[in-house]
Structure 1
Amino acid sequence: MKPIRLMSGFLTVGVWTMLSRVLGFVRDAMILAYLGTGPVYEAYVVAFRLPNMFRRFFAEGAFNVAFVPMFSKRLETSDDARRFAEDAMSGLTSVLVVLTALAMATMPWLIYALASGFAGQEEFTLAVEFGRISFPYILFVSLAALLSGVLNATGRFAAAAAAPVLLNVVLVAAMILGAWAGGDIAPWLIWSIPVAGLAQLVMLWFAARNAGFPLALRRPRLTPELRNLLRVAVPAMLAGGVVQVNLLVGQQVASYFDRAVGWLYAADRLYQLPLGVVGIAVGVVLLPDLSRRLAANDDIGGRYAFSRAGEVSLALTIPSAVALVVIPQPLVSVLFERGQTTAADTAAISMAVAIYGLGLPAFVLQKILQPVYFAREDTRSPFRFAVVSMVVNAVAALGLAPLMGWTAPALATTLAGWVMVVQLMRGARPLGDVARFDARFWSRLWRICLVSAVMGAVLWLGALALEEPLRTAYWRYPALALLVVAGIVVYFGLGQVIGAVKLSEFRRPLKG
C-alpha cells in the first residue's frame, strides 16, 4: 500500500468513524435526555454492553485478529481466499447461534455476573428483559465484522467503516418514532438494537459481493485452514476475554454505587470518540497492510507504515487527551446536560472523562502496536501482556474503591492501559526494525507534546474567560464551539510552524 493510499485509508475510516461517533453522541444525548441516569438507563447500559462484550470477545477481538492476516496473505499469494472466508463464516455462524441460545436461556446469571450490585433492585429485572431482546445483535454484528475484515483486506475501507453509522441511525430513528407515538421509549430503543445489527449485516454482504466476494454459508467443517485459524484465534480470544474481564470488574465495582454505571458509560462514550476516529481507524488499516508487507518480505515498507501510523495517531490523540483533561466540564455539559440529566450528573461524568483522558494515548498506542504481533499470527504474546494488565486493573479497581469510590474503575482502566503499552513495546524489540518507530517519529513526538501543552493552556484560559456563557442555556453551544475552534487553530497553526504536524500530508489523501 503506497503512502498516499495508506493515509487515504486512515482518513476514510477516520471520517466514517467520526460520523458514527457524532451520531453516537446524538444517540446517547437523546437517551440521557429521555431516561436520565436512573434505573432504566443503567439497565439499558448493562444490556447493551452484553452483546457488545461478546462481539469484541469472539468477532473483533479474536476471530478477525486471526482471520484478517490469513485472508490478506491468501490474497497476496493468490490462494483460494473466497473459500477460506466462506468456511470461516460458516464456522463462526454455528458458534454464534449456540452462544445466542445459551445466553438468552441464562440471562439472569449473565446480568448477575455483569452487575451483581443490581440484585434485588428494579435495574436487575429490567436488565434481564432488555438483555434477552438485545442479545441476538451479536449474531448479526459478528458476521458483519467478518465481512468488514474481507473488505478491509481488499483495501475497501469505506463500507466497513460506514456500517456502524447504521446502528446509530436506527436507534435515533427508533427513539424519534417512540417519542412521536407517545409513552415509554425504552421498548423502541431496545428492540431497535437487533434490527440495527441485521441492517449492518445486509449492507456489508452486498458490499462484499460487489467487491468480488459473494460469500455463502456452507456446511461447517473443520478444515486444516480453520484448524490453523483456531490455533491463532484462541489466544486472541483469551486476550479479548481479559479485556472484557477488565470491563466486567469496573462495572461490578460501579454497580455498588448509585448511578455510577451510567456515569462511567457516558464518560466512556466521550473518550471513545478520539479512540475510534484515530486508534481504531489506524489499526483497521494497518493490520492488513502489515500482513501483506510481511508476506512480501517488505520490512522497510512495513517500518514506514508502522511509524507513520504512530505519528498520525499521536498527532491527533495527544491534543484530544489534553482537551479531555483540561475542559471536561464544558464538553460534558453541552453534550449531555439536558432533560433528565442534571448538573450533578455533569460533574460526576466530567471527573471520569478527565481520568480516561490520561489513558487515551495508551489506548490508541495499543491499536498501533498490536497489529505488529497479529500480522505475524502471534496472538500469544498480547494474551500474556493482557493477563498482566488484567491483574493490575482488578487490583487497582478493587483496592482503590474504598478510597476513591466509583471513580476507581476509571483510574484502574487508565493505569492498566499504560501497563499494556509498556509490555507491547518491550515485547516488540526482538521483532526487528519493522516494530520500531523511525527517527522522524521521535523527532515529531516532542513537538506534538509541546504544541499540545500550549493548546491546553489556551483551552484552560478560554474556559475561564467563557465561564458564564458556558453556563447559559443558549450561549453554551457557540461558546464551546469557539473554545474548540481556538484550540484547533492554536494546535495546527503552531504545529505547522515548528514541524509537529504537516497539513500538506493530509491534503492529497483528503482529495482522494
Structure 2
Amino acid sequence: MSQSETPEAPNPPSRAPGLLRSSGVVGVMTMLSRVLGLVRDMVIARYFGAGASADAFFVAFKIPNFLRRLFAEGAFNQAFIPVLSAYLTNGSVSEVRGLINAVAGGLGLILLAVTLVAMLGAPVLTGLFAPGFLDDGVKFALASDMLRITFPYLLLISLTAFAGAILNSYDRFAVPAFTPVLLNLAMIGAAIFLSPLMQEPVMALAWGVLIAGALQLFFQLPFLMRLGLMPRPRVDYRHEGVIRILKLMAPALFGVSVSQINLLLDTVLASFLQTGSVSWLYYSDRLSELPLGVFGIAIGTVILPNLSRKHAAQSKEDFAATVDWAVRAVLLIGVPAALALVLLAEPLIATLFHYGAVTDLDVVMSAQSLRAYSLGLLAFMLIKVLAPGFFAREDTKTPVKIGVIAMVANMVFNLALVFPLAHAGLALATSLSAWLNAMLLWRGLAREGAWRPQPGAVRFLLQLLVANVVLAVVILVLSQPVPSWLAASGVDRTLDMAILVAAGAGAYFVALGLVGMRVRHFRRR
C-alpha cells in the first residue's frame, strides 16, 4: 500500500476519555500483566530458587531491562510524546507521519548498533554490572552467555515502546498496557516446557526473554496500521522533530530513570554479598513494583500526553489541576499499598514464592528488603506522576539536576547502610533517595506554578489518614504469626492471604466512604 493510500490518521479526540477511566483501563491491563509477572516469578522460584543460576539469569535479564526502562520507557517516551503531541496539536497528518518515520529510522539504527556491540562485549558488561561475579568463573560465564541472548530484547522492546508511545498519544492506552502480558507468558512457557530440554535449564529463561521481545513488537504493529501510522523508517537526524527529541533525551536519561539507576547500583553491590542477595532483592522489588506499575505508572502514562496537549494549548490552570489530580490519585492508592506491604512482608513472600527451591531463610531475607522498598513506594509512585509535569513542558534541565542529586545521595546511603543491614540496607538506600527525588520534583513544580493544591486538600489528607488507620487495625487483627505462614500449605496460605486482602481493601474503601470520599471526586477530563 502506498503512503497516499493509507487511512488518514485521526486527530486526538476533542473530548478525550476521562483521566480516571483511562487510568483504570491502563491499570486493569497492567494488573493482568503484573499478576502474570508474579506467576512468572513463582514459576522461576519453584524451578531455580535463589541459587547461583538464578542470580546469573537475573543479572543477564536486568541489564537489557534496565536499559529499556532507562532509554525506551524512560528518556525516549518522555521526550517523544511531548514532541509528537505538539505535532498532533499544531501540525498536519503528513507532518506527523514524517516525524514518526524519521524517529523510527534514527532510533532503529542506534539500537541495532548498540545491540551488536553489547552482544560482542557481553563479558565486559557482565563484569561492569555484576563485578562480584568475577570471583565465580561458572556464574560469570553463565551470566555472560545468557546476556548475549537477552540483550537483543532491548532492540525489540524499545521499538515496542516507540509503537506504544504513538498509540498512547492517540489515547489508545489498552494495547500498550496489555503488551507486557506476552513477556510473562513467554517466560512461563520457557521455564515449564523449554528448560527440561536444555543442558543448562536456566538458559531457557534467556530464550524466553528474546521470544517475548519479538511477540510484543509484532503484536502492536496491526494497531498502528489501523491508524495509518505504520512507520516507514527513514534516517534523518536533521529533521526538526528528531533534533528536539534528541535534545530532550540526553538529560532525560538521568531525570526520569534515577530510580532504575539506583536499583542497578543495588545489584552491583549485592553481587559482593552472600549468594542469594541478588535474588532476594529481585523478589522483593517485584512485589513492590506491583502497586507501582498498576497505579503509579498507569497514571503517569495517561497524564503525559494529556499534560503535553494542555501545555501546547497554553492551558496553565488545567495543567496545574491535572498534576494535583494525579498526586491525589497516587496518595489514595500508594499509602495503603505501602502500609500493607510493610505489615504483610513475610506472609506475601511466603504465599507467592515459598515453594520448591525457596527456603524459609529466603522468605525472611526477601521480606527484609521488601519492607525497605515499601518505605519508598509512595515516593516511587510520585516520581512517575511528577516528572511528566516537567517533560510535558519540554523542561529536562530541572529533572536532570534533581536526578543527579538523588543518585549521589543514593550512593552515599548505599555505602552507609550496606554494612549494617546488608541487602536490606541497599533497598532502604534506594527508598531514601527516591523520597529526596520526589520532594525536589514536587518543590520545583510548585515554585513554577505547574502544581498547586486544589480546594479540599486538608480534608482529603484527613480522610486518607482515617482510612489507613482502619486498614492497619484490620490487618494486625487478622494476620497470623510468621512461623504459621511458613509452616502452612500453599493452599492454606493462598486462602488466608485472599481473606486478608479482601478484608483490608474492603475496610479501607468502606472507611473512605464513611468519611465522605466519593468516586465522582476523581472524575476529570
Give the Å deviation of 1:365: 0.6
User: Which aligned pairs between 1:170-209 and structure 2 lie closer than 5 A?
Assistant: 170-178=186-194, 181=197, 184-209=200-225
Q: Is the 8 A contact 2:83 2:241 kept in 1?
A: no
Tell me the residue number matched to 2:69.
56
Tell me the residue number matched to 2:116.
101
Give the Å deviation of 1:339: 0.4
CA distance in 2, matches of 1:26, 1:450: 34
Is 1:39 matched up with 2:52? Answer: yes
User: Which aligned pairs between 1:120-269 and structure 2 lie closer than 5 A?
Assistant: 120-121=135-136, 122-178=138-194, 181=197, 184-239=200-255, 242-258=258-274, 259-269=276-286
Is 1:320 matched up with 2:333? Answer: no
Give the Å deviation of 1:219: 3.3
Change (3 A) 1:469 1:48: closer
Q: Is the 8 A contact 2:68 2:154 kept in 1?
A: yes
Q: Is the 8 A contact 1:69 1:375 kept in 2?
A: yes
Q: Describe the superposition over 1:7-30 as per-residue Cα deviations: whole angstroms up to 9, x where unpaired.
A: 111001100100000000000110
Equivalent of 1:406, from 414, 418, 423?
A: 423
Moved more, 381-390 or 83-92: 83-92
CA distance in 2, matches of 1:403, 1:381: 34
CA distance in 1, matches of 2:355, 2:508: 31
Q: Is the 8 A contact 2:26 2:294 kept in 1?
A: yes
Give the Å deviation of 1:390: 0.5
Q: Is the 8 A contact 1:319 1:455 kept in 2?
A: yes
CA distance in 1, matches of 2:198, 2:401: 51
Equivalent pairs, count: 506
Tell me the residue number matched to 1:90.
105
Q: Is the 8 A contact 2:103 2:233 kept in 1?
A: no
Tell me the residue number matched to 2:360.
343
CA distance in 1, matches of 2:486, 2:501: 12
Give the Å deviation of 1:5: 1.8
Q: Is the 8 A contact 2:130 2:267 kept in 1?
A: yes
Q: Once the two structures are aligned, what percentage of the paired residues are identical?
A: 36
Q: Is the 8 A contact 1:332 1:350 kept in 2?
A: yes
Moved more, 455-464 or 123-132: 455-464
Q: Is the 8 A contact 2:82 2:394 kept in 1?
A: yes
Equivalent of 2:508, from 491, 506, 511?
A: 491
CA distance in 2, matches of 1:244, 1:31: 22
Q: Is the 8 A contact 2:254 2:404 kept in 1?
A: no
Change (3 A) 1:175 1:353: same
TM normalised by structure 2 equals: 0.92
Is 1:290 matched up with 2:290? Answer: no
Equivalent of 2:476, from 460, 479, 490?
A: 460
Give the Å deviation of 1:505: 6.1
Q: Secondary structure in 1 aligned to 2:135?
A: coil
Tell me the residue number matched to 2:78.
65
TM normalised by structure 1 equals: 0.95
Q: Secondary structure in 2 aligned to 1:340?
A: coil
CA distance in 2, matches of 1:420, 1:12: 28
Moved more, 371-380 or 445-454: 445-454
Aligned CA RMSD, in angstroms, stands at 2.0
Q: Describe the superposition over 1:365-396 as per-residue Cα deviations: whole angstroms up to 9, x where unpaired.
A: 11111111001001111110010100110011
Q: Is the 8 A contact 1:10 1:281 kept in 2?
A: yes
Give the Å deviation of 1:238: 3.5
Unaligned runs of 5+ in 1: none
CA distance in 2, matches of 1:94, 1:442: 51
Q: Describe the superposition over 1:295-334 as per-residue Cα deviations: whole angstroms up to 9, x where unpaired.
A: 1122232233222222222111111100001111111100
Give the Å deviation of 1:489: 1.0
Change (3 A) 1:78 1:87: same
Change (3 A) 1:465 1:329: closer
Q: Is the 8 A contact 1:307 1:441 kept in 2?
A: no
Change (3 A) 1:50 1:312: same
CA distance in 2, matches of 1:428, 1:266: 34
Q: Is the 8 A contact 2:373 2:431 kept in 1?
A: yes
Q: Is the 8 A contact 1:306 1:437 kept in 2?
A: no
CA distance in 1, matches of 2:257, 2:180: 22
